[in-house]
Amino acid sequence: MKDNFLEKYREIGRRIAFYRSKRGISQETLGEKISYSKSYISKIEASGSDISYSLDILFAIAAGLELDPVIFLLPISEENFEKYRTDK
């Protein structure tokens, strides 16, 4: 991963963690839903992590959280959570 994108990956990881917590889903449960390990989800969410991942994984996480994946590119907010839920 290029260093100039590292902060963007970290911010997306923080958003994933926030919305996963908002859904009341553990890393383990999310991992099971999308067929990835808890440790992999943890690495994606870790703000100090330098892991990169594909759009396929981002889309899978969004589906597991019942959210439109665009939410991970927007500021964290209750309004965005309500707007981009796919379970309504």
Calpha distance 88→74 (Å, rounded): 20
Question: With contact defined as beta carbons under 8 Å apart, do 45 and 14 qualify?
Answer: yes
Structure confidence by residue, pLDDT tens digits, 71-87? 999 999 999 999 999 99
Structure confidence by residue, pLDDT tens digits, 24-81? 999 999 999 999 999 999 999 997 777 888 999 999 999 999 999 999 999 999 999 9
pTM: 0.92
Identify the CA nearest to 88 among candidates 68, 61, 60, 59: 68
In the chain, the domains with their CATH numbers are 3-82 (1.10.260.40)
